[in-house]
Amino acid sequence: MCTSILYSPKDHYFGRNLDYEISYGQKVVITPRNYEFKFTELPAQKSHYAMIGVADVAENTPLYCDAINEKGLGAAGLSFAGSGEYFSVTKDKKNIASFEFIPYLLATYETVDQVKEGLANANITNVSFEKGLPAAELHWLVGDKTGKSIVVETDEKGLHIYDNPVNAMTNAPLFPE
């Protein structure tokens, strides 16, 4: 079972274990400030924060499992199989593909409070990275250097953002459980 954790006594630590018996080709990946992210439904971002994390790189796209940006905002995507549900692109929403969620957050925001505000009208879409493959069912721990964290989940009822007083998260079930 994968677990992610945020620990910020006087220093700041954000991490997770990737509990798989096989490798998907993941490695440590650094995305510099000037790398252009071309998002599926959002405008491309040419100027953003640098980030480092664990990713598989496909078609010059870092598919981050977890990462942290230069401002101390980190995000980790963990399995949410059986509980997660994504939706079709919806007009009047900020549509974010699940595989773009971590790069979008870390490129755009510095703090958990900014993330919460920025996701107020968001929709995690069912668009997959590769045609013919389903989007991976994930939920995310997002934390910043102040020691504050949230859990972001999307299920049949929509997008949920939960304050996370324990600063840790595992795979399914739903966070409130």
pLDDT digits (tens, 9 = 90+) for 115-162: 999 999 999 999 999 888 788 899 999 999 999 999 999 999 999 999
Give residue 151's pLDDT.
97
Residue of 86, 148, 145, 147 lying closest to 116 (CA atoms): 148
pLDDT digits (tens, 9 = 90+) for 8-38: 777 888 877 776 676 777 899 999 998 999 9
Q: Cβ distance 122 to 162 under 8 Å? A: no
Q: Determine the pLDDT at residue 20.
A: 65
How many other C-beta atoms lie within 10 A of the C-beta of residue 126?
A: 15
Distances 162 to 48, 77, 118, 145 between C-alpha atoms, Å: 26, 15, 14, 18
Give residue 1's pLDDT. 65
Which token pair is 24?
A: 């998907």
Continuous H helices in the chain: 101-108, 112-118
> Any idea which fold 3-170 has?
Penicillin V Acylase; Chain A (3.60.60)
| Catalytic residue annotation | 2
